Chain A
């Protein structure tokens, strides 16, 4: 059965790509069907694991064997991967079906469906691996599909640039991940997860010497792996590709850049909890990066105007939450937030897609507003998504996000209390920017360019998938909280490792209430400032325009990279070519030698002029020199 789970998406990808002649309808229905079957299988696998404890590692065949370096193609089902399988295949199935409606006017439907299925396959190999190399395969595979899908509309210059940017920034992350794998192989002699994890305790005080500095081995490994995670999960400094990735079609943003691929980094850290647990420094680093990203991305989301970019920064920020949860040692909570986030964020993105569809490809929220009566279904679904994201009590985000903040608080470390503090502030900011998005899109006056009559509700094929997701956004928190983060839950078994089980502190009541109260009060506050009295904000904007521009231009990080990295690299490349290869090596190498020989032979030919008096003259000089020599001697 696991074979079907993994290979149905691959079959779907190949058949739809090479079966273009079978028609658009075929490709859409066929791929959606196969992925749905795959999703059903994943639920069965999850259930059987949960109830009958059926976890197993299926080895397909040996991939690489070079001395000790051995990797298998495998399907590893454990509690952690079974959760990921459910998330990936179910969101993927929903997105496949939604795409039938969303891409209805696109001429390249089979190609689109094929890429989506291929992505699903790559993501499944990533999460179902039993070794680091297959993880790397999936890791770069999803990066490839992300590249292909961001650049799906290849005629757009911006889409092409965004696609390349995504691939290259991810490559920088992969660079770290690769170094981590080299380190692991060098010291442990294996890249199989379980073999590595059992060896870790023996190496906990091992140090390595890099450029004369002695560093703890485990810490270095954790740092390297985390660079990979930062790239894939768009954490601070390596986040720049994610907002640009919104150039891709909206279903792609929902599937890849919200629910699944970007969470691979979190998955990696949780999967490697047996390694991270032995390095406090690395964990603190993870937590700090997570915190910075959470608040940084939320601050940018406050002022953006593109509906998809706001949600993209929101994703960035929520991933930050997951990382600092992992950083304070609450891996299961990070996974829980990953799980709930997949539903409500996919809902928000697909809802945004429905809005964009309704407005005939308008993405700027300044040109929207006042249409909630026109598109009530979309509005209601977006409302659910927004409530869930902001952590409104008893929706899914409430359980997972508040749990992160609580766990940070009770972790008892300095980093933990900072994380809790930043978590609360970010929760408030999240609420503000989410409601800003919601109110400006659906309420206030209509500010669209076209007549309001052109606004239309999306077809059912798009709305039904949204409803399915909204069920997840509403109830997934409540239903799964005991299973995933309950104190007595044995669900995770040994797929998540804790070095010291934390003794339970109780959280004071005021602390429990702070976040829900803040996020709820943000609703009327946002309504007041964004809809009722927007002029207050406009004047605030005017008095504080440096701050506003700083946020609007995303902290100027893209500009910084452009002038510090991209342009210098091009200059160096040009210098090496023109001055190095042409100016030095060729000039003094082959060209120099041939010029030298030419000059010498030119001189030599001048001696052979063919005139008798020349030769006679030379003879005379020679003779006189000889005579002189003998006389002096």
Chain B
């Protein structure tokens, strides 16, 4: 295919942002329509890519390659079954964010939408890059609009949270940059597919793996570098939380699959016990912490850490079920956490508080909202028939084949997950009305209902027919696993 479709999907949102910046529409409605149009067009483009994507083809598709700095960095793009799903997810979440922020962002809406559109460009760029430097640029550039979204449109402690977010993520990425330079000196290229072929010498793999890991672990986030996430979520505006939870966290999971396992199979193998331990701590520890939260957003943020724990657990089993489960869990969490943050946003817009104790008996006044909230609560605790179940269950099946104990402990996390989510629902939705102002609430309006209903249908639909996603990643995951195993095996032969 000659048409540079990946470049188009990456830069279309940026174009929209530039258009807004240059032409400066007079009123906000114009800005909203332009950005909404751009993002929805981008979503259809992503669907087109998914549709024309060949799930049985082993390797990267829609390849684009241009010299950027000749002989050094190539602007190389390409996608496989894993990345195409993330592109669709990103392009799907972006318009939702734009619609949701129209009511809740009161000042500087124009700049906010520009930030979101630029962020979309960077995020899709991450999932398309096949060159380490390009990947690094997109990966880190995403920090800036997010930093601004939290720092400018955030809550009371927004500056503290924004800096905490920046400090943590920057620390990891510096190490990754050093590692990328090291890889270039070792192999003479930054092209990922070439690095797969050349194979990085074993003695460097562990240290390079750690450098990449430090960046991904912060972004994911894994225990103990997770404490930026609750603060960032609490302070970020709703749309910011949605993007953060639905997409930004997934970039790290994607990074593990594409770079850590692909480039450093031995490092990945060597550090599996570390990843398992941290994931299990994340699942159990943060679930217990989530149980005690009084702030709705903090509770969901902590539950995100636990859910991402399943992702890393699954990926590092290097089994078919584990990796596919991890993939599915990321997509599922992208939908569910986005929806839960939107739900909290609905309540926050009306009550200006996220404190669980000031709610109770909401179902009496917001029946539609309550139904949707309960659906996502159940999806989040992994009820069969929703996406939450498929991801968790496949991860646990995969983990079980590697390590009984880890699987048993992780399965126990599912019990805790039910506890904190149901308790949240009980305190917010059910029970007696203790706060006068709850009685004055109005139910979700049409646009809120439409968004949430789409997300709910998606959660249930994919829960009953997960093969839509599993079939797309099937070939890519197979080749990921076989490459990984061949790499490990070939060196064992050499060392004999």
Residues on the B chain within 8 Å of A183, using CB: 400
CB of A399 to closest CB in B, whole Å: 37
Residues on the A chain within 8 Å of B291, using CB: 569-570, 573
Query: A481-489, A499-507, A508-516, A582-590: which one contacts chain B?
Result: A582-590
Say which residue of A144, A178, A581 sits within 8 Å of B393 (CB atoms). A178
Which of chain B's residues 309-335 have a Cβ closer than 8 Å to chain A?
Answer: 319-321, 324-325
Residues on the A chain within 8 Å of B389, using CB: 140
Which of chain A's residues 102-131 have a Cβ closer than 8 Å to chain B?
Answer: none
A63-B466, A69-B397, A186-B400 known; A157-B432 Cβ under 8 A: yes
Residues on the B chain within 8 Å of A593, using CB: 167
Which residues from chain A sit less than 8 Å from chain B, CB to CB?
61-69, 73, 133, 136-137, 140-141, 144, 147, 151, 154-155, 157, 160-161, 163-164, 167-168, 171-172, 174-175, 178-179, 181-183, 185-186, 208, 210-211, 569-570, 572-574, 576-577, 580-581, 585-586, 589-590, 593-594
Query: B238-246, B343-351, B422-430: which one contacts chain A?
Result: B422-430
Question: Interface centre among A66, A67, A155, A581, by most B CB within 10 Å?
Answer: A66
Residues on the B chain within 8 Å of A208, using CB: 404
A62-B467, A66-B324 known; A573-B289 Cβ under 8 A: yes
B324 A576 Cβ-Cβ under 8 A: no
Residues on the A chain within 8 Å of B430, using CB: 151, 154-155, 160
Residues on the A chain within 8 Å of B390, using CB: 64
A175-B411, A572-B288, A573-B291 known; A66-B325 Cβ under 8 A: yes
A140 B383 Cβ-Cβ under 8 A: yes
Extra pairs beyond A147-B422, A590-B167, A594-B163 (8, CB < 8 Å): A67-B324, A141-B385, A172-B415, A175-B412, A175-B415, A211-B405, A569-B291, A585-B225
Q: Which 10 pairs show the lowest CB-CB distances between chains A and B?
A: A67-B320, A573-B288, A182-B400, A137-B384, A154-B430, A573-B292, A577-B289, A573-B291, A66-B324, A171-B418
* Contact-residue bracket for chain B: 35 or more
Bound Cα distance A154, B422 (Å): 13
Bound Cα distance A573, B292 (Å): 6
CB of A167 to closest CB in B, whole Å: 6
User: Could you list some 5 contacts between A and B, CB below 8 A?
Assistant: A64-B390, A137-B384, A157-B431, A172-B415, A581-B289
B168 contacts partner chain A, Cβ-Cβ < 8 Å: yes
B292 A577 Cβ-Cβ under 8 A: yes
B361 A155 Cβ-Cβ under 8 A: yes
B414 A69 Cβ-Cβ under 8 A: no
Bound Cα distance A352, B302 (Å): 45
* Interface bits B413-447 vs A (CB < 8 Å: 1, else 0): 01100110011001001111000000000000000
A137 B397 Cβ-Cβ under 8 A: no
Specify the chain B residue showing the minimal Cβ separation from A589.
B227
Bound Cα distance A12, B431 (Å): 28
Residues on the A chain within 8 Å of B207, using CB: none
Specify the chain A residue showing the minimal Cβ separation from B478.
A67
Question: Interface centre among B383, B430, B464, by most A CB within 10 Å?
Answer: B430
Bound Cα distance A499, B397 (Å): 30
- How would you classify the secondary structure of chain B's contact residues: helix, strand, loop or mixed? helix
A178 B168 Cβ-Cβ under 8 A: no
* Interface bits B138-176 vs A (CB < 8 Å: 1, else 0): 000000000000000000000000011001100000000
B336 contacts partner chain A, Cβ-Cβ < 8 Å: no
Residues on the B chain within 8 Å of A167, using CB: 418, 422
CB of B163 to closest CB in A, whole Å: 7
Residues on the A chain within 8 Å of B228, using CB: 590
B400 A590 Cβ-Cβ under 8 A: no
Bound Cα distance A590, B466 (Å): 40
A178 B396 Cβ-Cβ under 8 A: yes
Bound Cα distance A272, B411 (Å): 22
A65-B467, A155-B432, A178-B396 known; A576-B285 Cβ under 8 A: yes
A144 B414 Cβ-Cβ under 8 A: no
B385 A137 Cβ-Cβ under 8 A: yes
Say which residue of A140, A141, A585 sits within 8 Å of B224 (CB atoms). A585
Bound Cα distance A576, B223 (Å): 12
Question: Interface centre among A62, A64, A136, A157, by most B CB within 10 Å?
Answer: A64
Residues on the A chain within 8 Å of B230, using CB: 581
CB of A633 to closest CB in B, whole Å: 39
Residues on the A chain within 8 Å of B163, using CB: 594
B85 contacts partner chain A, Cβ-Cβ < 8 Å: no
CB of A560 to closest CB in B, whole Å: 18
Specify the chain B residue showing the minimal Cβ separation from A135.
B384
Bound Cα distance A68, B412 (Å): 25
Say which residue of B411, B423, B471 sits within 8 Å of A164 (CB atoms). B423
A155-B432, A585-B227 known; A64-B466 Cβ under 8 A: yes
Which of chain B's residues 376-390 have a Cβ closer than 8 Å to chain A?
Answer: 378, 383-385, 389-390
CB of A212 to closest CB in B, whole Å: 11
B285 A69 Cβ-Cβ under 8 A: no
Residues on the B chain within 8 Å of A157, using CB: 431-432
Bound Cα distance A66, B392 (Å): 13
A168 B422 Cβ-Cβ under 8 A: yes
B384 A160 Cβ-Cβ under 8 A: no
A175 B227 Cβ-Cβ under 8 A: no
Specify the chain B residue showing the minimal Cβ separation from A210.
B404
Specify the chain B residue showing the minimal Cβ separation from A157.
B431
A155-B431, A178-B414, A590-B164 known; A581-B227 Cβ under 8 A: yes
B227 A69 Cβ-Cβ under 8 A: no
Residues on the A chain within 8 Å of B363, using CB: 154
CB of A393 to closest CB in B, whole Å: 44
Bound Cα distance A358, B411 (Å): 47
A164-B423, A167-B418, A570-B292 known; A179-B411 Cβ under 8 A: yes
Say which residue of A61, A175, A182, A594 sits within 8 Å of B167 (CB atoms). A594
Bound Cα distance A11, B400 (Å): 37
